[in-house]
Chains A and B, each alone.
Chain A
Amino acid sequence: MREILQWTTLIVCAAATLARIPSALRGTNRSLFFIFLLATAAGVLSLDVFYLPIDRALGGINIASLLLRLIVFAAIYLVAFRVSRAFGARDAYALISGRIGLGVLGLFSAALVTLFLLMDISASSPGLADASSRSPRNAALLPYYWATARGYPMYVSLALLPSLVRTLGSRLPPLVRAGAGLMAAGAVATTAGFLLDFAAPAVSLERLVVNNSAVLFFASGLVMVWLARVRAQRMGGTRNVMY
C-alpha cells in the first residue's frame, strides 16, 4: 500500500514533467516544468529504494532527507508564486513572494537546516525514522524538525486557500475552476498533513496518504489549468494567449 502510493505519486509527477518538455523547450511557462521536475525529485527521494543509495553517495548522514525537505519548499513556493500571480491574488502574493513571504521562506529554511545540524543522525534512515532512538536530544528535536518541514507548506497553503476558493466560485472556464478546486483540496491536505504530524506516529499510513494526496491534488490541479489552455487554443485561442 505504502509503496503503491509513493510510486503512483512519482509516476504522475514524472509523466507531467515529460509532457511539459515541449512547452519548456518552446519557452512557455518554464516554471511549470520545474515545478513538476521538483515534485518528481521529491517523489524519488521519498522512496527507500532511491533514498538509501542517494544518501550513501551524499555521505550517509541523511543529507538526502534535508535535501528532500528543501526541494518540497522550493516546489510549493513556485506553485504558490505562479498561482497567486495567475489568480491576481495580491494578498496571497504578498504573503508568499513579497518581502514578508520571502522572509518567512528564509526563516523556515534556516530553522530547518539549524535543527538538522543540531541532531546527530549519522546513519541513513528514510524519513529519519530511526533518528529519535539514537539519542534523547534527537528525540527532543525531531518533532520541531517535522513541524518546520511541514510548517512552510502549510503556511503557503493557508495563504493561497482564499484565492483558490474565490476562483472556484467564479465565472471562469470549468477546467480552470476544477483546477482551482483540486489545488484547494491540495492546500487542505497539506494543512491536514501538518496537523497529523502531532497526532500520528512518524511513518503511519494516514500521514503517507494525506501527504501523497496533497501532492497529487496540486499536480492534477495544475494539469487541469494547463488543459484549459490547450482547450482555449484549440477553440481558436483567447487573445494574446497564443504562442
Chain B
Amino acid sequence: MAPEVAIATSRAAGVGLTGGLVATGLVTEAEAGWTPGARQAALDMLSDGDLTVLAGDRLQAMGKTLRRQEQDQEQSEMILENLG
C-alpha cells in the first residue's frame, strides 16, 4: 500500500494518522508512540472467528489480484506468441 493511501485510509477510519503507516510497516509501533505490545493486544481482543473472517477476506483479495496478474500474463504471452 502506498503511504498516501495508508494515511488516507487511517484518516477515513478516524484513527491516528500514524496508524496506517504502522499497519503498512513503514514505521515501527515504538516510532509511532504506541504502547509496547499494543498491536498484539488489539489482535488478542478479536475472537478466533473474527480473525478467521479477516484472514479469509485478505486471502480472497490477494487471490483476485493474483488471478488478474495471471490473466494479464497469459494474454501477454498469447500476443507475443502470435505477433512477436
Contact = CB atoms under 8 A, between A and B. Distances in A.
Interface residues of A, number: 26
B84 A225 contact: yes
Contacts of A230: 84
Nearest to B68: A171
Which of B72, B77, B79 has most chain A Cβ within 10 Å?
A: B79
B75 A229 contact: no
B60 interface: no
Nearest to B84: A229
B77 A228 contact: no
Nearest to B73: A238
B83 interface: yes
A29 interface: yes
Nearest to A237: B80
B35 interface: no
Nearest to A88: B78
A241 B77 contact: yes
A240 B78 CA distance: 10
Contacts of B68: 171
A240 B77 contact: yes
A176 B72 contact: no
Interface residues of B, number: 13
A34 interface: no
A23 B72 CA distance: 25
Interface stretch (A5-13, A79-87, A108-116, A143-151): A79-87
B82 interface: yes
A32 B84 CA distance: 8
Interface string A123-138: 0000000000000000
Contacts of A32: 83
Given A32-B83, A222-B83, A228-B84, A86 B76 contact: no
Interface of B: 68, 72-73, 75-84
27 contacts: A32-B83, A83-B82, A87-B79, A88-B75, A170-B72, A170-B75, A171-B72, A172-B72, A172-B75, A172-B76, A222-B83, A225-B80, A225-B83, A226-B84, A228-B79, A228-B80, A228-B84, A229-B83, A232-B76, A238-B73, A238-B76, A238-B80, A239-B77, A240-B77, A240-B81, A241-B77, A241-B80
